Amino acid sequence: MSAAKTTAQNAGAANRADPGRLRVGVSIFVRKGEQSLWENGIYQNCLFLVMLLVKAPNVAETYLVSGGGDGDTADAQRFMADSPVPIIDMAAAAEKLDVMIEMSAQLNREWAVSFRERGGKIVTMRVGNDYVIDIERMIFDKPHGLLIAGTPYDEIWTLPEYERSCMHYFGTAMRAPVRLMQHLWSPAVIDRAAATLANGESFGYKPGRKKWRLGIFEPNICMVKTSHLPMLLVDMAHRANPRVIELLRVYNTFHMKDHVTFVGFANSLDIVRHGLATFEGRFPVYQCLSSQIDAVVCHQWENGQNYLYYEALHGGYPLIHNSTFIGDCGYFYPGFDCEEGGLAVLQAFSQHDADLANYREKARAFLHTLDPENGDNVRAYNEALVNLYRAGPL
């Protein structure tokens, strides 16, 4: 390495190493054409993170960084119109930033190496169950994905829901320290969306119905969140008391309507045989909850922190779930226990209207702990950024 190059790199590192005035970017995948905050939860992850970063005392500038797809910053600005920060491209990010947080768009390895050589720090924030996703990509006919790309990271950030299944996988495979970070959520996105609902529709639980319309919203694209166990526990509730359920809508299943195994499973259920279930495509949750659904039935496997849960709680909707990450909110059943899940559905139906005020208050207190502008969350993320520099180079 030439002396001039070494001097330039050292100068870049010196300029970038003041944790009191950090310039931070969050990568976001952008493609040509229409995109929506509702098509993938990771876009909301990006938005909530930059909402927090603009409040962090050691962050001077925050940006969303357009990359990964065939779109440009203009495409990004259309679907991220509510972003509180500017959107820049990868070339500008290389010049402007001290810290790049890889979130929605995977970083090019060569870009990352060059950025770190000039003194920049790179964090990858893993907000999906990549251990399971990577297994599925390797052993089934799934599209190629991240796996281990050799990108150099200074630190890996992930969520408490992945401490057991992914934390050690991330650290060992990517050869960087792992830090558990608070999940973030704000009602800002769903409140803005709900304000666009047609006349006569409104977001929020409406008490007083004689029977309930239940909704299952699991995406059915990875085995950590699928519809079949919620369908079973709804069937258990229906078998126990056929006077409770008016209709079950199973969303995100239209792509499975011709799959012989799924069809056979569905047809084994009383709720289907009695004509009380429909199978739907993918729609924004706020639209479904505003006019079609009274209660949400969920199941997850090592994926217990979900925006769906927070959205339902925010609206006061009964949430039947098996997550240990949302305190005493909703109606809990353990693990994979369909019978207990069915009883949770019946419990919710029998008590929700009478207990609605208390339910809403519990939900409000819990959701405040997720707020990107909550002081505790701002301090935790700010401290993590400062510690990137205190730790020194890997």
Q: What is the CATH number of domain 188-368?
A: 3.40.50.2000
User: Tell me, what DSSP letter sits at residue 121?
Assistant: E
Both structure tokens of 308: 């769906």
> pLDDT class for 129, splitting at 50, 70, 90?
very high
Residues 289-300 have a mean pLDDT of: 97
Q: Can 3-184+371-390 and 188-368 be said to share one CATH topology?
A: yes
Share of residues in the chain with pLDDT > 90 (%)? 77
CA 86 vs. chain centroid, Å, equals 22
Mean pLDDT of the chain: 90
Residue identified by tokens 């199941």 is 299
Cα-only R_g, the chain? 23
CA–CA distance, 138 with 381 (Å, rounded to integer):
33
pLDDT for the residue 287: 94
- Looking at 1.20.140.10, 3.30.210.10, 3.40.50.11190, 3.40.718.10, the CATH number of the domain 3-184+371-390 comes to 3.40.50.11190
pLDDT higher than 70, residue 221: yes
| Residue 249: pLDDT over 70 | yes
Task: Identify whether the C-beta of residue 77 lies closer than 8 Å to the C-beta of residue 53.
Answer: no
What secondary structure letter does DSSP report for 279? E
Between the CA of residue 75 and those of 38, 80, 134, 192, 356, what are the distances in Å?
Answer: 16, 9, 29, 20, 42
Alpha carbon separation from 90 to 28, 29, 61, 349 (Å, rounded): 10, 11, 16, 51
Q: Does the pLDDT value for residue 49 go beyond 90?
A: yes
Range 287-312 average pLDDT: 97
For the chain, domain boundaries? 3-184+371-390, 188-368
* Minimum mean pLDDT range among 19-28, 54-63, 94-103, 230-239: 19-28
Q: What is the DSSP letter of 324?
A: S
